[in-house]
């Protein structure tokens, strides 16, 4: 939490040597001096520079080294003028002043190092973002070429071509979801919603806590959900206007279990043979070290997906 606060503070930084930076330094020193005065009313023996240490650190983080040095010098002058008696020249006073000066040097150096590190991090993030955009652009071009090849190769089997193209687009859409996610770890809920998007009206009820997926888990589960959604639209609950799908997930820290329940559709029955879609679902779950089990009660298909929790998050 403290790290996020400091980062948020430094993201609002002023340009070094700017007038705003030095005005900010003056305001911080003024506030610190006022606080030191109030502390002195409560306890006359409060440390001489007690209120000015955080002021110098904040100025160093937000306004840079020049403004921080200016704030330290201004603090020394004000404290010496307002809180140190001219007759007071004992060793303790000299020690406090030297200690404050050395502490200011350390605070400014640490803050400057942090600002440089943050600037480097931001530059890397911008470079990473540009690289991801370029990779995304190239991958979309590649997917377009593959779609054209499939369309031309299966010109006499339009249904098969559309099925394969749908799977290709499912992978492409998943890459978009992954790239848009924080730390490239998409939320399971967001991934599932994206699979229903291309089919118009949303008729799914989702229940479960937030689960962040690794890119590998997201890509495999994306194909699984694409097959389930496609099957529900062609043959299952979503083939009619009244049908819907309930999707829930839970974890015990070791296993992630996802349940897919269809309701309100035509009477369900087990398929006569295992098609390519079923084999694809089973293969994707095996890639994650998990399994898929489907049942076909009359009210609608019921499918359970189980995978090791570490495969979803590690």
The pLDDT score that the predictor gives to residue 304 is 92
Residue 282 placed within a domain: yes
Residue 175 placed within a domain: no
Instruction: List, for residues 197-226, the tens digit of each pLDDT value.
Output: 766 556 788 898 888 888 888 888 888 888
The pLDDT score that the predictor gives to residue 249 is 93
User: Parallel, antiparallel, or unpaired for β 255-263 and 302-308?
Assistant: antiparallel
pLDDT in tens, the chain (314 residues): 555 555 555 556 678 888 888 999 999 999 999 988 888 777 766 677 888 888 999 899 888 889 999 999 998 888 878 777 665 556 767 777 788 889 889 999 998 888 888 888 888 877 777 776 676 666 666 667 777 777 777 778 877 777 777 777 777 777 777 776 677 778 888 888 888 776 655 678 889 888 888 888 888 888 888 888 888 888 888 888 778 889 999 988 888 999 999 888 888 888 777 777 888 888 889 888 899 998 888 888 899 999 987 756 65
Quick one: 110 and 206 in the same domain? no
The pLDDT score that the predictor gives to residue 7 is 56
Q: What is the pTM of this model?
A: 0.57
User: How many other β-carbons are positioned within 10 Å of the β-carbon of residue 181?
Assistant: 17
Structure tokens at 111: 């803050």
Residue 157 placed within a domain: no
Instruction: List, for residues 95-140, the tens digit of each pLDDT value.
Output: 777 888 898 899 999 988 888 888 888 888 777 777 766 766 666 6
Sequence length of the chain is 314
Residue 263 placed within a domain: yes
Quick one: 18 and 109 in the same domain? yes
CATH code of the domain covering residue 220:
3.30.565.10
Quick one: 96 and 195 in the same domain? no
Quick one: 101 and 201 in the same domain? no
Q: Which of 121, 143, 169 delimits the end of a domain?
A: 121
Quick one: 223 and 300 in the same domain? yes
Q: Which of 85, 101, 121 delimits the end of a domain?
A: 121
Q: Which domain holds residue 250?
A: 183-313
What distances in angstroms separate CA 64 from CA 112, 167, 168, one per listed residue? 7, 52, 50
Question: Could you tell me if 259 and 249 are in contact, meaning their C-beta atoms sit under 8 angstroms apart?
Answer: yes
Q: SS in 3 state form for the chain?
A: CHHHHHHHHHHCCCCCCCHHHHHHHHHHHHHHHHHHHHHHHHCCCCCCCCCHHHHHHHHHHHHCHHHHHHHHHHHHHHHHHHCCCCCCCCHHHHHHHHHHHHHHHHHHHHHHHHHHHHHHHHHHHHHHHHHHHHHHHHHHHHHHHHHHHHHHHCCCCHHHHHHHHHHHHHHHHHHHHHHHCHHHCCEHHHHHHHHHHHHCCCCEEEECCCCECCHHHHHHHHHHHHHHHHHHHHCCHHHCCCCEEEEEEEECCCEEEEEEEEECCCCCCCCCCCCHHHHHHHHHHHHCCCEEEEECCCCCCEEEEEEEHHHHHC
Quick one: 94 and 198 in the same domain? no
Residue 128 placed within a domain: no
Structure tokens at 139: 């991958």
Quick one: 285 and 200 in the same domain? yes
The whole-angstrom separation of Cα 78 and Cα 97 is 12
Number of domains, the chain: 2
Quick one: 105 and 205 in the same domain? no
């Amino acid at each position: 939490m403290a790290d996020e606060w400091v980062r948020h503070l430094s993201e609002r930084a002023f340009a070094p040597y700017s007038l705003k930076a030095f005005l900010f330094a003056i305001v911080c020193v003024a506030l610190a001096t006022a606080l030191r005065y109030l502390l002195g009313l409560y306890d006359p023996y409060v440390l001489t520079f007690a209120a000015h240490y955080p002021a110098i650190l904040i100025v160093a983080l937000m306004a840079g080294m020049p403004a921080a040095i200016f704030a330290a010098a201004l603090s020394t002058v004000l404290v010496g003028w307002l809180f140190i008696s001219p007759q007071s020249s004992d060793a303790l006073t000299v020690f406090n002043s030297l200690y404050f000066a050395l502490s200011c040097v350390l605070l400014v150096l640490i803050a400057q190092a942090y600002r440089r590190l943050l600037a480097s991090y931001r530059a890397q993030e911008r470079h990473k973002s540009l690289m991801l955009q370029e990779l995304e652009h190239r991958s979309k071009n590649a997917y377009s070429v593959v779609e054209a090849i499939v369309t031309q190769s299966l010109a006499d089997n339009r249904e098969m071509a559309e099925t394969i193209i749908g799977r290709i687009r499912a992978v492409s859409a998943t890459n978009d979801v992954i790239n848009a996610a924080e730390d490239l770890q998409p939320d399971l809920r967001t991934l599932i919603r994206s699979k229903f998007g291309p089919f118009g009206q949303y008729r799914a009820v989702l229940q479960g806590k937030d689960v962040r997926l690794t890119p590998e888990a997201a890509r495999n589960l994306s194909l699984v959900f694409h097959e389930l959604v496609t099957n529900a639209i062609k043959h299952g609950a979503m083939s009619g206007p009244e049908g819907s799908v309930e999707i829930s997930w839970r974890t015990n820290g070791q296993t992630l279990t996802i349940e897919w329940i269809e309701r309100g559709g035509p009477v369900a029955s087990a398929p006569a043979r295992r098609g390519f879609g079923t084999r694809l679902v089973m293969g994707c779950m095996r890639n994650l070290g998990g399994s898929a089990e489907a049942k076909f009660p009359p009210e609608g298909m019921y499918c359970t997906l189980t995978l090791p929790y570490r495969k979803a998050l590690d």
